[in-house]
């Protein structure tokens, strides 16, 4: 707890604790910060779902300088929230892709050979019957106790333009009438 992610020190030594509660537990507490007398200021009780955090001092000015020196309290709460979110995260967002990415995505959860195995994953939402490979089609899937939300790639929403030369090459040899007009233009109506 002594430093920030950037490595800068937190002003923990500048905290003034004037009164505090004594933490007692039948189970073993992890003492994260202790006071001069050895009593615990900040403790964690490990549980199967992460842990429970205890702060023995209050934020009232008569009890401590936690309110005045709020950065320490803010960091403690922020780190507890991050750890709680990590312990509860049984979901993952992915982008639909025909290419299997190595490392970092679903490859760290299950081998690529099991991705198309219906016994390993179950579709919960999305169009059914498109494919047996969940990572190629948008939808919500379950694999064991994990949830996956697979979204269309954002590149599908980007409108690409074809140049005049490419258009001529694509339709070479076909009889067609090409209308070159921009949206909102009234030139075509006036000519009629």
Residue 37: the pLDDT is 84
User: Which of 63, 88, 113 finishes a domain?
Assistant: 88
- 100 within a domain of the structure (yes/no): yes
Residues 6 or more apart in contact with residue 76 via CB below 8 angstroms: 1, 42, 53, 55
Same domain, 41 and 104: no
Q: Tell me whether residue 35 is in a domain.
A: yes
Taking the C-alpha atoms of residue 55 and residue 130, their distance in angstroms, rounded to an integer, is: 53
162 in a domain, yes or no? no
Q: Dump pLDDT digits (tens) for 67-94.
A: 887 777 777 777 777 766 665 555 555 6
Residue 32 shares a structural domain with residue 81: yes
Q: Are residues 103 and 140 in the same domain?
A: yes
Beta bridge partner(s), residue 50: 47
Q: Based on the fold, state whether residues 17 and 84 are members of the same structural domain.
A: yes
Q: For residues 117, 123, 126 and 131, what is the CA-based torsion angle, rounded to 10 degrees?
A: 20
Given a cut of 70, whether residue 15 has pLDDT beyond it is yes
178 in any annotated domain: no
- Alpha-carbon gap, residue 185 to 180, rounded angstroms: 11
115/146 same-domain check: yes
Specify whether 148 is located in the same domain as 96: yes
pLDDT, tens digit, for every residue of 105-154? 444 444 444 555 555 666 566 666 655 565 666 777 777 776 677 777 77
73, 106: one domain? no
Residues 6+ apart with CB under 8 A from 56: 20, 21, 22, 23, 35, 39, 40, 41, 42, 43
Give me the domain span that covers residue 78. Answer: 12-88
Boundary-marking domain end, from 47, 72, 88: 88
Q: How many domains does the chain have?
A: 2
Question: In this structure, is residue 24 part of a structural domain?
Answer: yes
Is 75 in the same domain as 113? no
Residue by residue, DSSP assigns 72-98 as HHHHHHHHHHHHHHHHH--EEEEE--S
Last residue of a domain, one of 73, 88, 103: 88
């Amino acid at each position: 707890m002594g430093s920030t992610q950037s490595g800068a020190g937190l002003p923990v030594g500048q905290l003034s604790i004037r009164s505090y509660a004594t933490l007692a537990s039948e189970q073993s507490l992890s003492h994260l910060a202790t006071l001069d007398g050895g009593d615990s200021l900040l403790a964690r009780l490990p549980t199967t779902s992460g842990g429970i955090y205890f702060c023995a001092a209050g934020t009232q000015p008569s009890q401590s300088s936690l309110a005045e020196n709020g950065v320490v309290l803010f960091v403690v709460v922020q780190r507890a929230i991050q750890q709680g979110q990590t312990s509860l995260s049984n979901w993952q967002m992915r982008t639909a892709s025909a290419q299997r990415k190595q490392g970092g995505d679903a490859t760290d959860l299950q081998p690529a050979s099991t991705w198309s195995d219906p016994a390993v994953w179950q579709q919960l939402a999305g169009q059914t019957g498109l494919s047996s490979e969940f990572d190629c089609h948008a939808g919500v899937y379950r694999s064991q106790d994990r949830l996956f939300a697979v979204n269309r790639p954002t590149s599908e929403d980007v409108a690409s333009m074809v140049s005049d030369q490419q258009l001529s090459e694509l339709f070479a040899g076909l009889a067609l009438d090409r209308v070159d007009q921009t949206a909102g233009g009234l030139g075509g109506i006036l000519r009629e």
